[in-house]
């Protein structure tokens, strides 16, 4: 898939105010500082479509972007904020949960995980919640340029070992690096394939 157009549509904290169109949606979510904004900018070949920041938790709203006039990329707030109050966390958690529970246009979620770290409970718990609620998702491992290939393989195997304790199969996953454009084509081809399958239904 070649992205010819990418435009911001709306930001809000109310799922009822999300776009009314029936266009397919792909939601990107992960822990704060996982490199979500950089990944979105890399995928869309736009340097500042999603706002990047050194401060974790910068995305605090549901952000819709219209891609190629025929699907929405949704930038969701991160979980595990380092610098927001407990009350703010509850608000974010509530509308993230509502988004996944109520948004019928959602095709799949992409859960971003920093490949440099060992499996984190907060990531595993979120994936478990998605699974228990029947929400399809893929894992996107970010910052792959920071590790050597054998270390990447080991970390993915660590995730696989833990996930297979409760899952029948390892979830679909991608290895990416925003700074090196690694994994860009793989993620976009997957979205294109899902869009094509929907056209056939």
135 token code pair: 């929400």
pTM of the model: 0.90
Could you tell me which residues are beta bridge partners of residue 67?
Answer: 6, 71
Q: How far apart are the C-alpha atoms of 89 and 133, rounded to whole Å? A: 21
The pLDDT score that the predictor gives to residue 195 is 95
173 token code pair: 């996953």
Could you tell me which residues are beta bridge partners of residue 74?
Answer: 27, 64
Q: What is the tens place of the pLDDT at every residue in 135-193?
A: 999 999 999 999 999 999 999 999 999 999 999 999 999 999 999 999 999 999 999 99
Q: How far apart are the C-alpha atoms of 138 and 28, rounded to whole Å? A: 10
Q: How far apart are the C-alpha atoms of 36 and 32, rounded to whole Å? A: 8
Tell me how far CA of residue 33 lies from CA of 19, 53, 101, in angstroms: 27, 8, 25
* Percentage of residues of the chain with pLDDT beyond 70: 88
Write b or e for each residue in 97-123: b if 16 or more Cβ atoms lie within 10 A of its Cβ, otherwise e.
eebbeebebbbbbbbbbbbeeeeeeeb
The set of residues, in sequence order, having a beta carbon less than 8 Å from that of 188 and lying 6+ positions away, is 1, 3, 43
Inform me whether the pLDDT recorded for 93 exceeds 80.
no
121-132 vs 149-163: helix crossing angle, rounded to 10:
50
């Amino acid at each position: 898939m070649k992205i010819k157009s990418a435009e911001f549509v709306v930001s809000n904290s109310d799922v009822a105010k999300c776009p009314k169109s029936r266009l397919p949606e792909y939601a990107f979510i992960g822990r704060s500082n996982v490199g979500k904004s950089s990944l979105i900018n890399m995928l869309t070949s736009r340097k500042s479509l999603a706002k990047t920041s050194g401060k974790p938790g910068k995305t605090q709203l549901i952000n819709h972007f219209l891609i190629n006039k025929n699907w929405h990329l949704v930038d969701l707030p991160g979980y595990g904020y380092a610098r927001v109050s407990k009350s703010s966390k509850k608000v974010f958690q509530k509308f993230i949960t509502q988004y996944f529970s109520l948004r019928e246009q959602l095709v799949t979620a992409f859960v971003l995980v920093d490949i440099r770290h060992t499996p984190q409970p907060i990531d595993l718990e979120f994936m478990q919640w998605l699974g228990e609620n029947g929400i399809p998702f893929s894992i996107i491992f970010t910052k792959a340029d920071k590790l050597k290939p054998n270390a990447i393989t080991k970390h993915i195997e660590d995730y696989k070992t833990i996930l297979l304790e409760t899952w029948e199969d390892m979830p679909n996953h991608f290895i990416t690096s925003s700074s090196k454009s690694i994994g860009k084509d793989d993620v976009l081809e997957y979205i294109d394939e899902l869009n094509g399958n929907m056209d056939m239904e």
